[in-house]
Structure formats: C-alpha cells, structure tokens
Structure 1
Amino acid sequence: MGQGDWESGEGSPLLVQVQVQVREGRALAALGWWELLRGLLVFALCSHPRLQRDPEAFLRASRRLLGPHLWRALLSVSLWGQFAVGRSPAAVQELAQRLRARGLRPMLALPIEGEGPDGEGEAWFEQNCGAALQCVGLAATSGPEPAMQLKVTALLSQRLCEKLSLRLAKPEGAVLNPEEVAAMLGGQEPELTWLSPAENEHLGRGLRRLEQVAQAAVARGVQVLVDAEMSHLNPALTCLTWGLMWRHNRAGPRPWVWNTWQAYLRDTEARLGAHLGQVGVAGLRCGVKLVRGAYLEQEQGRARARGCPAPTWDTAEQSAASYERCLRLLLAALARPGSRLSLMVATHNEASALAALRGLSRVPPGSVCFGQLQGMGEHLSLALGAGAFPVYKSVPLGPPEVTIPYLARRAAENRGALGGARRERELLWAELRRRLRPWA
C-alpha cells in the first residue's frame, strides 16, 4: 500500500469515492449471484422474531425437526456458509483467495470459550490448545499479514479468570504486573499466595498453553488478536495479554499480540488512555482492536441480578459516542512521532468507519486496518477494500456443530446486529434490481 493511498483527509477524492460506494452499496457488484441470493436468504432468516429472541433454542428445534444430516446440509448453504469456514486447508485457502481477490483478508476466529463439558477439566483446555495451534497453521497459509482471534477462556478457566480479576481490583492486586506474568509465561511456576495449589497449577498450565500458541504464531508470522469478554473477566484477560505483549511485542514489523477494547463499557476510555501511556513507557509495539462490544444484555442482566449499576453505557447513542471518543484518542496517539501503535477499527457502522478514514491522513501509512464479521457489512468491507484499505473479515473456524452455537450466542448477545441487518437487506435488494434491470 503506497503512501498516496492513505491521503484520505476530509474531502479527498478517495474518501468521497468510498462514501459514495458505502451509501449506494455499489461495491456489492463484486459478489457472485449465489452470494447475493444467500445473503438475502440469511438476512431474512435473521429478521425472524423467534431467531432474534432465542437463536440457540431456534437452532435446537430445527435440528430435532430436520435431523442432523439435513440440518447440517441446510446450514452449510445458509447461515454457516455465510458466516463461517471449515477447518480443512482447502476450505481456508478457497476463502482466502476469494477474499483477497476483493481486497479483503481473512482473520480466523477460534469459536471456543467457557468451561467446557463437566468432568473434562484440563483435557478440554488441552484439546482447545490443539485447535488453536491448528488455527495458527491455517492462518499462516492465508496470505500476507495473517491474523487470528483467540479467547483466553478457551485455554484457561473462566472461574479462575474471575478470581484473578477480583484480586486485581484490590490495591494489593497490582503486584501481578506484566513482568511477573511474562516470567510465568516463560516457565516460572505460579506461586500466588491468594490462589490454592490446584489453582496455581491450572494457572501455570493455562499460561503455558497461551505461550505455546503465541510462540507458534510469532514463528509463522501470525498476529494474535486476543478477544475481550465479559467485564468481570476483562481485568485478568488484559493482565495476561499484557504479559504476552511484554514477551512478544518488542521486535518485528508489527505487534504480534493485540488486545481488544470495548467502547460500550463506561471506563474504557480512561483505561485505554492509561494503557497507551504504560505501553509507551515500556517501549512495546501495541496492537489495539476497538469494538463497540457484544455482551450488552448479559452485562446488564448480571448487574441487575447483583443489584449493582451496569458497567455499560445505558443507550446505543452513549456507546456510539464513547466509541468515537476512543477512536479520536487512538488516532491522536497514532499521530505522535515515533508511535508504535497499530489499530484495528472493528465496526459495521458506516459513520465510525468513515470517521476513521478522515483521520488517516494524519497517521503513519499502514498503521490502521478495519475489521468486520464475515458475511456482514459487506457493502462497507468491499468499498474499503476497493479503496486499498486493509480490511480483515472475522471468520469462525470449524464445522457447523461448533461454529453455529457460537454464532447463536453472539447473536443472542448482540440482537442489535440482527436488527441492523435491515440496511444490508435493502442494499442487497438494490444490487439484485440493478442486475435484473441494468437499463433502469
């Protein structure tokens, strides 16, 4: 990508071109006929009230009604085919080639989180580690500057992460610093006095799994974007990610380990500002993925059950305003001389993406990329890709039995995304009419 491609300040021809493409959906002309028709089918399904109300129950009922084989076949040509990809190298290669031909890049996402089946224990986390290493290998073959997403709770107990977060919230919790975490990632056995021997043992195993994945990713040139999760887990996730950054983000052309920040949390702006300052002092490359956040209903439900204020903003408008403030903060940090920050603007919101574009003329070339879910925001992704901006499409990796429940949970957590599909349906219909009536 050349320096001139980033001259996208207010009123530049490139920005105007992207704005027109986004507003009219003209970039959807790049979709094949089947992709266009499948998109219309999938977004019609996503608008169904029962699917919006309880996606997992809807999918369970459909599996019982259709039987596993027909259920799997229908999902392969609808929801799963729209949003996910299988684990075979051939499937990932085909997806990567299709995306890159359109100026887009795949970002494989491991759709595993939580505690796993009862009684599985360490075996479940070890199995997940194998899947994460497979994800690294598949991502490495997907083209230049590959990336993948990882949830810490795929490799380390959610319950332990919550206990770590509670401790970190106390004044004495600050003793668990990045250097100490980095030492444990390097093989030093955890001996935290406020954890039981079994918890220290599990923490050590979990950190070894995280380090194994990070080492494999760095060796293969794959960037690892660590996902944020529920707010009561995030202090631990950020602390452990800090340790990974401490070990792996000192050398190389880009940060290998990235952290994710959720703008819908009230304290994100302050914590993000502090984080940028700490990273600067430490001399690390810093990768930041900025998202709106996808656990809104769960966060608010948990707060109601505990009788305490929700950690999230109350309205979508407040969350959007927080996102814009965080974006301005990050763009200002990028514009400073000697900045070692890289930013992924993860949004399906046209206004936020265009706001980021307007700020790119003031930041180093190549330091900002965009991210959207595979199968969503295609008019935005394709328009940005046509403008030579780096765009990653987040693609859950695995068979329908694994990825569809994960997608259903994401849909349940973020019903607004399903409701917002109306805009995409309108643009897909407009593209269909253009093809059927090219003279109009």
Structure 2
Amino acid sequence: MKNITTLFENTKVAFALKSDSELERAYFLFKMIANEPLVRIGTAMTNFALKAHLPVKKLIRATVFDHFCGGVNEEDCVNVIDSMYEKGVASVLDYSVEGKEEEKHFDATLDKILKIIDFADEKDAVPFAVFKPTGFGRFLIWQKKTEGTALTEKEEQEWERIVARFEKVCQKAYDCDIALLIDGEESWMQDAADELVGVMMRKFNKEKAIVYNTLQLYRHDRFEYLLKLHEESKAYGFKIGMKIVRGAYMEKEIERAEEKGYSSPICESKEATDTNFNLALQYILEHNEDIAVFIGTHNERSSYLALSIMENLGIDKNDPKVWLGQLYGMSDHISFNLANEGYNVAKYLPFGPVRDVMPYLIRRAEENTSVAGQTSRELNLLSQERKRRKL
C-alpha cells in the first residue's frame, strides 16, 4: 500500500463534484457554522420563520438544505446519487423526518422505508436502507420496555404494531437483498431496540448480514454488548450486521444522568471514546467472517486505522462485509479519496420536505459547532481547493 497518511489531503479528488459556486457555498456555510453565537441566532431565526410561515423555504433550500440533503423525495435525490456513484461513492437514503408521535405518522414512515427499499433494489448506487426505531413507534413505549415497566393494554397493542412494522421492513429488506441499518438512539430506550433488532437478526441474518444494529461507542458499555451479541450469534447461528459510530446524543445523555442522579453511560473523555471506538473496530474486523460492518466516522485517525487493520488481516478493499461511511455535505476528503482507492464507501443522504428536515439540519449545525477541529478542518480543505482552482 502506498503511504496512506496523506490520502485525505487530495482536495482535487475530494471536491471533484463541486462546481465553483458550490465550493463557495460550502466555504460560506462552514464559516457560519464555525461561529457558535451565529449558529444559535440562525437556529432561533429559522425556527421562528418556519413557525410564522415566512417565505424562507427557497433561501433554506438554496443554502443549508442543498448542502446537507439530497432532495425533498427519492426522485429529487437521483442526480446526487448518480453523480456520487460515478466517483465510486454509494448512497444511504435517510428519510430525516423526526419527532412524530402518532400512529398515522409511523405507518407513513413504514411505507416510506418500504418504498426506499424498492428504490434501492433498482439502483446499485443505493446498497443500504436505514430507519430509526422511534420512526416506528412512540419513544415512551420504547422507554417503558427498556425500563421493564408494565404497559397498559393500549400500549401493548402499540408495541405489537411496532414489532409488526419491524418484521415487515426486515422481511422486505431480506427479500430484496438490501442491507438495513437501524440507527441507535438514547440509552434509556436502546435496550428494547437492541432486543428487537436481535430477534430480527436471528430470523433474517442466517446466511449473511441483512439487519444491522448500531453501536454508539461514546457509551462505555457498548463494547460489552458487542461481545455478548457475538456469543449469541454463535449459539443461534446467525451473522451480525453492525454500524459503528461515536454517537449523537451526548449532551442529552449527560444532562439526563445528572438530573436523574445516575451514573452517565458516556465515556469519561474524548480519548476514552476514541479508544472504545477503535477497540470495537479492531474486534469486528478480526471477526470479519461473523460480523459485517458499516464504519460511520468523520475521524481521520479511525479511518486510517480501519485501512491499516484491513491490510494487516488481508481483508480486500472491496470486501462486501466492510463499508466506510460519512454524512453528505461533510468529510468529502475522506469519502471520495477512499472511494478513489477502491474501498466501499457510502454517504448518508438525508432527504424529506424542507420544513420537516429542519430539526435534523439544526442538529447537524450544532454538532459541527461542538466538535473541536471538525469545522476548521473542513474550512482548511475548502480553502486549499479554492486556491488550487485559482492557480
């Protein structure tokens, strides 16, 4: 292997799909995101404008939405999907409508995920589908199941509908041979999700991984869960699918632990989280025969580590059981340079109506602001590419 430590410096490859105007827009957006007070003000103003039904959709669509999202529906995403795939980067269509609490919304989400699986079945460029457990049922039901609290008769019926939705979407993914990523959420509902996903793995992952759970490795107990699941898979004869990420609910987790007076499930430091992530990465790749993995990371060191472990273990760059992924609109220097080297790479491509996707976009902006070094790295690379093009 050539010297990989400079792999992510190639801005020509990283930003090949961006026109000059799109490059300028990206630079402008990350400049804004780098300013924490500006993000707070912008978030408040955007929420107000949307609630007051002010005519801001076109402005949002032309700036932050089009940078971080593929479109308002699947068909609207096709140009982005096709152009990325020409560069070797696949797409994970992520219906990013959050916070719904009614049965009609859960049924609508189920229909949307089934439609996405059909869409993926027709396009090699879309090898995965994805959904959140709370997209299929109320958070409170998941929480009560996790806590072991008795459900009312009405709630039991709700739970049965949740299980039926899971079963239906997993069966569809199995029938279409499309891998299905199930996102991780807050710790106080996750045990119930783990249990249900485990049931689906036992049923649908007999020959290979179709159903994938998610390890949020800023939680110090998740490596232990992985080891336990691996033992279970050997006992019951099924393959594991696992997406590994650092996590997305840290502030909420810490605040709730303090408020309720229990020990936080979050690792004590950034270094401890990195160690936990890399430990899980090493373990999974060492058990490549049993575990398929989607490595979701914007961390360059962890990406380099994955490549190094793969090389040491003799795992092919394009092994179908190993994928690396980043979010659309971020870390193009990782995604496109990895794809250029022949690795399996996919971008999470959020989509949905502008108004409904705003909570997702606001979270993205806030996360970028809070991740030290992430935004400055993006800005630095965008600056390099602007200079390169001018020369």
Query: What TM-score do you get using the length of structure 2 for normalisation?
Result: 0.92
CA distance in 2, matches of 1:427, 1:132: 35
Offset from partner CA, 1:216-267 (integer Å, 9 cap, x none): 222333211000001111111111111111221113xx41110100110011
1:352 to 302, 305, 313: 302
Q: Does 1:340 align with 2:321?
A: no
Write the letter of the residue equivalent to 2:79: E
Question: Does structure 2 conserve the Cα–Cα contact (< 8 Å) formed by 1:27 and 1:383?
Answer: yes
Aligned residue in 2 for 1:139: 120
CA distance in 2, matches of 1:51, 1:149: 32
Q: Does 1:32 align with 2:18?
A: yes
Question: Does structure 1 conserve the Cα–Cα contact (< 8 Å) formed by 2:218 and 2:266?
Answer: yes
SS in 2 for 1:77: helix
1:86 to 61, 68, 71: 71
SS in 2 for 1:376: coil
CA distance in 2, matches of 1:74, 1:114: 24
Task: Give the % identical residues.
Answer: 26
SS in 2 for 1:234: helix
1:363 positional shift: 5.0
Q: Does 1:49 align with 2:3?
A: no
1:55 positional shift: 6.4
Write the letter of the residue equivalent to 2:8: V
1:104 positional shift: 0.3
Aligned residue in 2 for 1:186: none
Residues 414/42 of structure 1: CA separation in 2 closer, same or farther (3 Å cut)? closer
CA distance in 2, matches of 1:317, 1:52: 27
Q: Does 1:149 align with 2:130?
A: yes
Write the letter of the residue equivalent to 1:344: F
CA distance in 2, matches of 1:359, 1:243: 30
Q: Does 1:423 align with 2:377?
A: yes
Aligned residue in 2 for 1:256: 210
Aligned residue in 2 for 1:158: 139
Aligned residue in 1 for 2:352: 398
Moved more, 23-32 or 297-306: 23-32
Q: Does 1:240 align with 2:196?
A: yes
CA distance in 1, matches of 2:17, 2:324: 19
Offset from partner CA, 1:399-427 (integer Å, 9 cap, x none): 21122222213444664348611101110
Runs of 4+ in 1 over 6 A off after TM superposition: none
Question: Does structure 2 conserve the Cα–Cα contact (< 8 Å) formed by 1:83 and 1:374?
Answer: yes
Residues 162/415 of structure 1: CA separation in 2 closer, same or farther (3 Å cut)? farther
SS in 1 for 2:213: strand
Residues 237/378 of structure 1: CA separation in 2 closer, same or farther (3 Å cut)? same
Aligned residue in 2 for 1:211: 167
Q: Does 1:110 align with 2:66?
A: no
Write the letter of the residue equivalent to 2:191: P
Aligned residue in 2 for 1:21: 7
1:115 positional shift: 4.8
Offset from partner CA, 1:160-179 (integer Å, 9 cap, x none): 111111129xxxxxxxxxxx
Q: Please provide the CA RMSD for this pair.
A: 2.2
Unaligned runs of 5+ in 1: 1-11, 169-193
1:388 to 334, 337, 342: 342
Residues 432/62 of structure 1: CA separation in 2 closer, same or farther (3 Å cut)? farther
Query: What TM-score do you get using the length of structure 1 for normalisation?
Result: 0.82
Q: Does 1:373 align with 2:327?
A: yes
SS in 2 for 1:78: helix
Aligned residue in 2 for 1:183: none
Aligned residue in 1 for 2:59: 74
SS in 1 for 2:287: helix
Write the letter of the residue equivalent to 1:161: W
Question: Does structure 1 conserve the Cα–Cα contact (< 8 Å) formed by 2:34 and 2:369?
Answer: no
Question: Does structure 2 conserve the Cα–Cα contact (< 8 Å) formed by 1:96 and 1:142?
Answer: no
SS in 2 for 1:30: coil
Alignment of 1:230-309 (within 5 A): 230-251=186-207, 254-309=208-263
Unaligned runs of 5+ in 2: none
CA distance in 1, matches of 2:118, 2:22: 27
Residues 373/144 of structure 1: CA separation in 2 closer, same or farther (3 Å cut)? closer
Question: Does structure 2 conserve the Cα–Cα contact (< 8 Å) formed by 1:146 and 1:223?
Answer: yes
Aligned residue in 1 for 2:363: 409
